Structure 1
């Protein structure tokens, strides 16, 4: 597999705009907390490292990945002038089809929330076969999907803002 030796969160060849002018929401699932806390730390630190003001980062926890949908909706409905919402979760394959239903529902639901508010809603949900794959993508050898979510949020906020300039 091509990603086996690659840090997927490598942005050295990418221009990342300043996050300073923007306001971000981060919604993090509590289920699989060891993983989702690492994703959150990666996202938060990336926003700070790219100039976001701590007072412009609104963080909330929801019980699980399925609840990320309503969590993002609640943030966009109640926090004025958010520029993007980063949704972080982790669903690990089990023995039943529950995994498939949850992953599909979360992906579609977050897409719909973004369209409803015309705001970037970033899918930072790990959908892995096992715990080790999740660890590898939450600060392990494949980087941190939280970092990637933050960079995506910054870039999408900047893209939307570019049409106002």
Structure 2
């Protein structure tokens, strides 16, 4: 989601499902960055009175597994999530590992969005430098954690409007 839209942060009039719940799946890897993304995400959810849970996974590659298995374990329970938010950061190194992990995480989130009845929001930074990270957690490119939270709200409202 681009920060160029003046309507990006506007959540006025959004109709969320009753007892809306979001599960944030975040990585342990690059914890300092992910802590900032998570804080921004939680700020938005709390401002909009949305319940949330946080699940930790080792790295970005494991996000899809956690989302799918959490959904399977909770889909018939009262506390089933209305959306998932994937938070991670993949920083380019000297090997092609970056490309493989980025593709796997992206493909995994796409598959989740096509197979689960609730949205999975892509809040994974794929960056080359620490400067690019800083620009995306409150710098000139906005706050991608807050944007992920807002996107979850808007997607839950969209799904809710189909009823």
Same structural fold, with TM-score higher than 0.5 when normalized by the shorter chain: yes
Match of 1:24 in 2: 22
Matched, 1:85 2:80: no
Alpha-carbon deviation of 1:139? 2.4
Helix, strand or coil: the match of 1:82?
Answer: coil
Which contiguous aligned blocks of 4+ residues in structure 1 show a shift greater than 4 angstroms? 9-14
Q: 1:94 to 1:45 in 2, by over 3 A?
A: same
Alpha-carbon deviation of 1:131? 1.2
The 5 A counterparts of 1:58-97 are 58-79=53-74, 80=77, 81-97=80-96
Alpha-carbon deviation of 1:77? 1.5
Q: 1:20 to 1:147 in 2, by over 3 A?
A: farther
Match of 1:105 in 2: 104
Normalising by structure 1, report the TM-score: 0.86
Q: 1:18 to 1:11 in 2, by over 3 A?
A: farther
Normalising by structure 2, report the TM-score: 0.87
The 5 A counterparts of 1:1-165 are 8=3, 15-16=10-11, 17=14, 19=16, 21=18, 22-52=20-50, 56-79=51-74, 80=77, 81-164=80-163
Work out whether residues 39 and 145 of structure 1, in 8 Å CA contact, stay in contact via their aligned partners in 2. Answer: yes
**Alignment RMSD:** 2.0
| Ranges in structure 1 where 5+ consecutive residues have no aligned partner | 1-6
Q: How many residue pairs end up in the alignment?
A: 155
Alpha-carbon deviation of 1:117? 1.4
Helix, strand or coil: the match of 1:96?
Answer: coil
Helix, strand or coil: the match of 1:139?
Answer: strand
Moved more, 17-26 or 123-132: 17-26
Q: 1:154 to 1:9 in 2, by over 3 A?
A: farther
